[in-house]
């Protein structure tokens, strides 16, 4: 397999070096891969997209997209990639069809010519083709934007936070569409700040402050979680969280859905029993305590903790 995207020691700063956006990053994305950049706002995801779509020049380092240099061959790259920027919102005053037609023409093609490429997605939009884009629901807007990015049969698709601000149902649908596109052999690079979406990628890079904390398949990222992770719940979760924090043997703990996730400084049956005792003494009732498999979010929090000398997780 050959690499569809490569980054080699790429650094990018703003404001004449004052703001570090991307800090010496290197990685490669294989052809046909669904690659996820996972991280909060300000992690540098958008900058990576803009560098790869030739909208920005790197300060240092080199990069390629399908073998084309992101600086020298920018014109070639612009012809073969599809790009959906963050906060991309189409022309609100044009109809669904007009938007699509326009982007088709801009990319030198027509809707008819590439209909097969988009028919899955556009099929859902066609009943509304005469509606103005501004009047579409969030989920439908995303679909239309994806159609616009796909209309010229790009080899590589760059999607910058396509699901931000979109409700769960639409998000799920959107990822199902991405899976189908991947099956067609398109390389997809997608970013998200929703950790739960990470597991849907082939490989992910967890990013923060311009750096990659970890990069692997979601399964491997999870496997690399260093401690045992426990989940605990009780009848009074607010109180429980405080009590857990008060215990000296706690390494990290935080609310995670209906449970509290925690890890212990000393692992083993003894420590577990001690913790349960401690909590019962403090009056926590109906305790359910079990070992759990970390999620990508747990891994991210763990990695953040490492980075900041482990103070983040325990700060009150």
Q: Is the dihedral of CA 211, 215, 218, 223 positive or negative?
A: negative
State yes or no: residue 32 binds another protein (CB under 8 A).
no
State yes or no: residue 123 binds another protein (CB under 8 A).
no
Spatial separation of the C-alpha atoms in residues 66 and 31, rounded to whole Å: 8
State yes or no: residue 169 binds another protein (CB under 8 A).
yes
State yes or no: residue 143 binds another protein (CB under 8 A).
no
State yes or no: residue 286 binds another protein (CB under 8 A).
no
Q: Which residue number, 92 or 217, has a Cβ lying nearer to another protein?
A: 92
State yes or no: residue 55 binds another protein (CB under 8 A).
yes
CB of 270 to another protein, least distance (A): 28
State yes or no: residue 175 binds another protein (CB under 8 A).
no
- In the chain, what is the straight-line distance between the N-terminal and C-terminal CA atoms, in Å? 48
State yes or no: residue 193 binds another protein (CB under 8 A).
yes
Strands 156-159 and 229-233: unpaired
Spatial separation of the C-alpha atoms in residues 169 and 162, rounded to whole Å: 14
Q: Please work out the total of residues on this chain that contact another protein, with binding judged by CB under 8 A.
A: 75
Q: Is the dihedral of CA 153, 157, 158, 160 positive or negative?
A: positive
State yes or no: residue 196 binds another protein (CB under 8 A).
yes
Helix boundaries (H) for 190-261: 218-223, 237-246
Q: Which residue number, 251 or 304, has a Cβ lying nearer to another protein?
A: 304
Stretch that binds another protein, among 2-10, 91-99, 113-121, 262-270 (CB under 8 A): 91-99
Spatial separation of the C-alpha atoms in residues 237 and 223, rounded to whole Å: 28
Footprint (CB under 8 A) of another protein, residues 257-276: 257-258
Q: Which residue number, 73 or 274, has a Cβ lying nearer to another protein?
A: 73
Footprint (CB under 8 A) of another protein, residues 218-257: 237-238, 241, 254-257
- Of the candidates 190, 205, 199, which has an alpha carbon nearest to the alpha carbon of residue 219? 199
State yes or no: residue 83 binds another protein (CB under 8 A).
yes
- Of the candidates 280, 282, 235, 277, which has an alpha carbon nearest to the alpha carbon of residue 260? 235
């Amino acid at each position: 397999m050959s690499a569809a995207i490569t980054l080699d020691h790429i650094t990018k700063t703003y404001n004449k070096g004052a703001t570090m956006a991307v800090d010496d990053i290197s990685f490669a994305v294989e052809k046909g891969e669904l690659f996820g950049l996972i991280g909060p706002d300000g992690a540098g995801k958008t900058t990576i997209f803009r560098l790869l779509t030739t909208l920005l020049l790197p300060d240092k380092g080199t990069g390629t997209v399908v073998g084309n240099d992101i600086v020298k061959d920018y014109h070639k790259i612009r012809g073969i990639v599809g790009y959906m920027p963050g906060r991309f919102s189409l022309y609100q005053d044009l109809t669904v069809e007009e938007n699509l037609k326009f982007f088709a023409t801009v990319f030198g093609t027509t809707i008819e010519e590439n209909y097969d490429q988009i028919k899955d997605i556009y099929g859902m939009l066609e009943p509304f083709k005469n509606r103005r884009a501004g009047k579409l629901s969030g989920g439908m807007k995303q679909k239309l934007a994806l159609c616009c990015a796909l209309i010229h049969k790009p080899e590589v698709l760059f999607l910058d936070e396509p699901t931000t601000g979109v409700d769960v149902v639409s998000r799920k649908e959107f990822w199902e569409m991405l899976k189908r596109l991947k099956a067609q052999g398109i390389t997809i690079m997608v970013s998200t700040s929703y950790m739960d979406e990470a597991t849907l990628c082939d490989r992910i890079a967890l990013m923060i402050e311009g750096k990659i904390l970890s990069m692997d398949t979601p399964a491997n990222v999870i496997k690399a979680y260093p401690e045992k992770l426990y989940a605990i719940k009780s009848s009074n979760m607010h109180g429980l969280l405080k009590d857990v924090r008060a215990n000296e043997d706690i390494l990290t703990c935080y609310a995670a859905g209906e449970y509290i996730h925690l890890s212990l400084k000393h692992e083993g049956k003894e420590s577990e029993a001690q913790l349960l005792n401690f909590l019962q003494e403090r009056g926590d009732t109906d305790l359910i305590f079990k070992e759990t498999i970390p999620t990508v979010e747990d891994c991210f929090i763990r990695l953040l903790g490492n980075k900041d000398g482990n103070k983040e997780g325990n700060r009150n």
